[in-house]
Amino acid sequence: MSEQTTSKLYAIVHCKCPHCRRGDIFTGSMYGWNIQHTKEICGHCAQRIEIEPGYFYAAMYVSYAMNVIEMLFASFITYLIFGPLTDETFWPYLIVIFAGCFILYPFNYRYSRIILLHVLSPNIKYKPYYDK
């Protein structure tokens, strides 16, 4: 009888609880008319998602790092298309960078919290017995 465990990568990509890797962390879809909210408690293992009050303030730092990387990537793509930053190319750079930040906001919101929970939280450990 083989026991199949849920991989950490699967849990991160699909936004699952870091404790059981089965329960959903968010309500609603990332992009859509339903606003995404972070659940307070995992529906599968009853793990508190927000461990302490203000816990997700640290996700702002992760989101900031993600935003910086995305802006650098967007400015590099803009550089390849429009050339170096000059007075004539200022507005295309600005529009592309801000549009990228605006479009990727739901992604950053969701995955900054996921990275904080799965990678940067030493207090939440995976319990494989929830896979049974």
Distance of CA 30 to the CA centre of its chain: 10
Residue 67 pLDDT more than 90?
A: yes
Domain ranges of the chain: 8-130
Q: 23-56, pLDDT tens digit by residue?
A: 999 988 888 777 888 899 998 898 888 888 888 8
pTM: 0.84
Query: What gap in Å lies between CA 1 and CA 132, rounded to an integer?
Result: 11
Could you tell me the CA-to-CA distances from 68 to 80, 91, 104, 114 in Å, in that order?
18, 19, 12, 18
DSSP, collapsed to helix, strand or coil, labels residue 21 as: coil
